[in-house]
Amino acid sequence: MGLDLYNKKRDFAKTAEPEGKPGRKSGQRFLIQKHDARRLHYDFRLELDGVLKSWAVTRGPSPNPQDKRLAVEVEDHPVAYGTFEGIIPKGQYGGGTVMMWDEGTWEPLDDPHKGLKAGSLKFVLHGKRLSGEWALVRMKPRPKGPDRANWLLIKHDDAAARDDAAEAWLETQATSITTGRRMEEIATNTQRVWTSRTRDEPPKRKQSKSMLEFIEPELATLAVAVPKGKDWVHEIKFDGYRTQALIENGEVRLLTRTGLDWTHRFRPLPDYLAQMPVTSAILDGEIVAVDEGGRADFKTLQATLAGEADVPLQFYVFDLLHSDGEDLRALPLVSRKARLQRLFNGNHFGGRVHYSEHFTKDAADLKDRLCALDQEGLICKRANAPYHSGRNRAWLKVKCHKRQEFVIGGFTLPKAGSKGIGALLIGYFQEGRLTYAGKVGTGFTLDSAIDLRRRLDLIAQKYHPFSDIPPEFKRGAHWVAPHLVAEVQFGEWTSDGRLRHPSFQGLREDKPPQDIHRDRPLSPTEVRKAEDVPAARKPKRRAPASEKSPTDVVGGVAISSPDRVVFPGTDITKKDVAEYYLSVADHILPHIAGRPISTIRCPQGIGGQCFFQRHLTQAAIPHVNDTGLPVNGREDDYIMITDAHGLISLMQWGVMEIHPRGCMATTPNRPDRLIFDLDPDPEADWADVVAGAAEVRERMTEFDLQSFLKTTGGKGLHVVIPIQPQYDWSAIKAFTRAVAESMTHDSPRRFVAQASKSKRKGRVFIDYLRNDFTATAVAPYAVRARPGAPVAMPIDWKALSRDLDPAGFTLENTPAHLGRRKADPWADMARMNQRLSPKILKALNII
């Protein structure tokens, strides 16, 4: 259709709408704008060939496959149109209120050009509200109907489908995904009108250089008693979301305790915080919603953020970490709070931002009074302590109720005739394994139970994720990947480690599952010891190597010769390698635990002798196990680890590299991962490696297989495809070989599928030989035994470019990279339930 019709409908001398100019050809953006013009509708847009293909969906999209929504095809829009939320002035074409209702990416299931021409476009959406498979089907035109084509927007019946009424569901999705505002809030905000004098965009899209960075918050340790003495101050413990506010020149960002940017979800608090009398500041506090009884209530907060309730959010600020260019963390707590309190003198901030007072006397009595009012409890802090990131004993939390977060690993069905769930099966991580803690069958509303069921169905898996669940709890259970975190209140822990009288409070989206451990409170004796500990200690002097202990402990494992430099030319020691692997344990273990592994050992460092080892020596190694699978030609068995202790024990053994096989030890003849290793010849062009990885991904998409990308810490790339373990190695190897040879046939000057060095000259070897019974591939996040300590790193497909350095991630820069990373690009791998189609294998004469 092009953009001619779009430009003809608009007078750009009177409107500031972007002039119709084609954008990049390769974009795959998807978005929906809720548009209240002559009548309310939803503008559904798919980016294709540099424009936004657009349809007006009169009743809004429905995730129910039984519904067929009328979608009227309208003129193509420019890609720049997809960032607007605000008001188009009356009298202009499309005048009215516009909300950013959903956004993400889309993937066509077939050729989209042929689909549009034929009137049947099938695709997958990856949005914040809409996901899964959808279709647009063109209706037959009426003899005297309008010129515009009518289509039907239909949801396919998959894991993302819903069977409830779409209208009721749409009512719960009534806020903007970029600013958190409702339509009426946008309509009454005259500061965001599209005119020829302003091109204002939602705050999320503003491009300003930020000088302030997220600071890992200080966390409190659970205690059973209130500490005594004048060295402590006490604050009310709030029942909400821990939040850090970063203020710069009137711009405000609100970040969760893990650094997620939730500014748009906490509207309009940023507008009030922008009134703070500072140029720049970092505030630490808690965002809450107060129920009708005047109590901060987590369920009310959850309902408000979900659009199910409309309760004004409140921000209670209890610390000031940065102010007008000055880092205040080294100051005593009471000094920081005095500086913070001055910011509130004479300022009201709409009654939504508050200074959190502290108390110095009668803390035990105060705790009793708070508990009588059904409040959360107290946070007790050392008055003269500096601010230290992480959990420590300078801050203690004394709760009125036993309550903590747990990871959901499964659920049971409700009674016949009911919707949602019956009970949740929950646990916590202990040494890298999910430990079962019990069932939660109360605390749900009908809406929350239905929403939970929808979320859980999306991450369903065949096997339970727990390490120790009793058989009686498995009956009737449906298992899910351990990705969701629930807040649970309970009475006591039983002697066998189960919760008594648990009650569901809500989901915690601000805490990653791997950080959820069992809260073990300090005893009264330990609290008394904490009372006597000095508020701040001077850092210990770093002793010379000759003075140091011959062993050190990392993650509970003794490391001998911890100060041995293992990467010549650097100061990276054996202990540094162990501490690195401990820091990434939650990332790497899902890809190596329970698998046969091979290792590269360098007992004296990479400057000494390194060798490949797949079996244990005669001496036993704690936490490292035999698999019972014999190494070819030997009486020895492949080794395996199951937890973080095993991982660090490998480092103590001198291991540098870890190479898992593409199968679990329990199903050695049934691989669950395909791997394509793109290995370039020294004279090959890096652009061909990039193109090869992209082509593998595209070919896998043709087989309905989603793939994942990682650098190798060397000169190439790996494309990894998780599959269900249904075929043997010969079938998998034959399939990957067919793909590699097909790529070679189509591009013989770029790719080769033979390992012969003479035939690889100047080309990229598509190595399918990784898919064999004894083959391995370097693990994600593993250190390579090479100069500079490079690391194999999972990356998002968006990062694939000619500028990518496949050896650019190292042991030293990876922790900072992981800290900045907004999401794990391999997070979805564990929940993939994809299979190789037998039709494909039969067509290739493989089975």
Any catalytic annotation for residue 237?
A: yes
Residue 250 reports pLDDT greater than 90: no
300 and 276: one domain? yes
Residue 201 reports pLDDT greater than 50: no
Residue 140 tokens read as 């037959």
223 and 116: one domain? no
Alpha-carbon dihedral sign for residues 266, 272, 276, 279: positive
* Over residues 10-23, mean pLDDT: 69
Q: List the one residue out of 392, 398, 434 whose CA is nearest residue 220.
A: 392
Choice among 279-288, 437-446, 491-500 with the minimum mean pLDDT: 491-500
Residue 787 tokens read as 């100069």
187 and 268: one domain? no
Would you say residue 490 lies in a domain? yes
Residues 105-160: tens digit of each pLDDT: 888 988 899 999 999 999 999 888 898 899 999 988 755 445 568 899 999 988 77
Residue 657 pLDDT: 94
What is the percentage of the chain residues whose pLDDT exceeds 70? 89
Output 290 or 15, whichever has higher pLDDT: 290
Q: Which domain holds residue 730?
A: 673-842
Helices (H) and strands (E) in the chain, counts: 18, 40
225 and 320: one domain? yes
215 and 187: one domain? no
Residue 147 pLDDT: 54
Can you tell me the distance from the alpha carbon of 311 to that of 313, in angstroms, rounded to the nearest whole number?
A: 6
* Over residues 673-694, mean pLDDT: 93
Which residues does residue 42 pair with via DSSP β-bridges, in sequence order? 34, 57
Confidence at 561, pLDDT banded by 50, 70, 90? confident
Residue 759 pLDDT: 83
Burial of 140 (C-beta count, 10 Å sphere; 0-12/13-18/19+): exposed
In angstroms, how far is CA 252 from the centroid of its own chain?
A: 23
In angstroms, how far is CA 107 from the centroid of its own chain?
A: 21
Residue 834 reports pLDDT greater than 70: yes
- For the chain, report the end-to-end CA distance as a whole number of angstroms: 46
Can you tell me the distance from the alpha carbon of 464 to that of 454, in angstroms, rounded to the nearest whole number?
A: 19
326 and 431: one domain? no
Choice among 83-92, 490-499, 754-763 with the minimum mean pLDDT: 83-92
3 state SS of 237: coil
CB burial readout 731-755, b (16+ within 10 A) else e: bbbbbbbbbbbbbbeebeebbbbee
Q: Quickly list DSSP for 255-311.
A: EETT--B-GGGGTTHHHHHTTSS-SEEEEEEEEEEB-TTS-B-HHHHHHHHTTS---
* Over residues 812-816, mean pLDDT: 88
Q: Are 409 and 466 in contact (CB under 8 A)?
A: yes
Residue 579 pLDDT: 93
Would you say residue 538 lies in a domain? no
362 and 253: one domain? yes
836 and 749: one domain? yes
Confidence at 16, pLDDT banded by 50, 70, 90? low
Domain termination site, one of 173, 202, 231:
202
Residue 746 pLDDT: 94
Choice among 199-203, 599-603, 761-765 with the minimum mean pLDDT: 199-203
3 state SS of 446: helix
Can you tell me the distance from the alpha carbon of 39 to that of 43, in angstroms, rounded to the nearest whole number?
A: 12
Domain termination site, one of 399, 424, 457:
399
Q: Are 539 and 478 in contact (CB under 8 A)?
A: no
197 and 217: one domain? no
CB burial readout 492-506, b (16+ within 10 A) else e: ebeeeebbeebbbbb
Radius of gyration of the chain (CA): 29
Confidence at 227, pLDDT banded by 50, 70, 90? confident
Residue 197 pLDDT: 30
Average pLDDT, the chain: 84
308 and 442: one domain? no
Would you say residue 542 lies in a domain? no
Residues 377-391: tens digit of each pLDDT: 888 898 888 998 888
Which residues does residue 404 pair with via DSSP β-bridges, in sequence order? 488
Q: List the one residue out of 304, 524, 368, 457 whose CA is nearest residue 833.
A: 457
Residue 93 pLDDT: 80
* Over residues 279-288, mean pLDDT: 93
Residue 205 pLDDT: 35
273 and 420: one domain? no
Domain termination site, one of 177, 202, 227:
202
Residues 285-310: tens digit of each pLDDT: 999 988 766 677 788 887 787 666 77
Residue 635 reports pLDDT greater than 60: no
CATH number, domain of 507, equals 2.40.50.140
Would you say residue 847 lies in a domain? no
3 state SS of 222: strand
390 and 420: one domain? no
Instruction: Look at strands 557-560 and 551-554 and give their pairing.
Output: antiparallel
- Within 10 Å of residue 151's Cβ, how many Cβ atoms? 24
Confidence at 319, pLDDT banded by 50, 70, 90? very high
Residue 741 pLDDT: 94
Say what the pTM is. 0.42
Residue 753 pLDDT: 93
Residues 340-357: tens digit of each pLDDT: 999 998 788 888 899 988
Please report where in the chains the tokens 């809004």 appear, as a residue.
Answer: 60
Residue 167 reports pLDDT greater than 90: no
Q: Are 446 and 384 in contact (CB under 8 A)?
A: no
* Over residues 393-409, mean pLDDT: 87
Residue 546 tokens read as 């000759």
Would you say residue 666 lies in a domain? no
Residue 17 reports pLDDT greater than 70: no
* Over residues 472-482, mean pLDDT: 88
Residue 398 reports pLDDT greater than 70: yes
Residue 462 pLDDT: 83
Confidence at 711, pLDDT banded by 50, 70, 90? very high
* Over residues 240-251, mean pLDDT: 90
3 state SS of 473: helix
Would you say residue 665 lies in a domain? no
CATH number, domain of 214, equals 3.30.470.30
Residue 513 tokens read as 């599952």
Would you say residue 152 lies in a domain? yes
Would you say residue 509 lies in a domain? yes
Can you tell me the distance from the alpha carbon of 357 to that of 539, in angstroms, rounded to the nearest whole number?
A: 31
Question: Which residue among the candidates 34, 237, 299, 381 is catalytic per the annotation?
Answer: 237
Q: How many domains does the chain have?
A: 5
Residue 414 tokens read as 């409700």
Burial of 452 (C-beta count, 10 Å sphere; 0-12/13-18/19+): buried
3 state SS of 2: coil
Confidence at 1, pLDDT banded by 50, 70, 90? low
Choice among 222-226, 420-424, 722-726 with the minimum mean pLDDT: 222-226
Choice among 42-56, 84-98, 311-325 with the minimum mean pLDDT: 84-98
CATH number, domain of 595, equals 3.90.920.10
Q: Are 50 and 79 in contact (CB under 8 A)?
A: yes
Confidence at 521, pLDDT banded by 50, 70, 90? confident
Can you tell me the distance from the alpha carbon of 790 to that of 784, in angstroms, rounded to the nearest whole number?
A: 6
What torsion do the CA atoms of 457, 461, 465, 469 make, to the nearest 10 degrees?
80
- Within 10 Å of residue 473's Cβ, how many Cβ atoms? 18
Confidence at 14, pLDDT banded by 50, 70, 90? low
Can you tell me the distance from the alpha carbon of 614 to that of 603, in angstroms, rounded to the nearest whole number?
A: 15
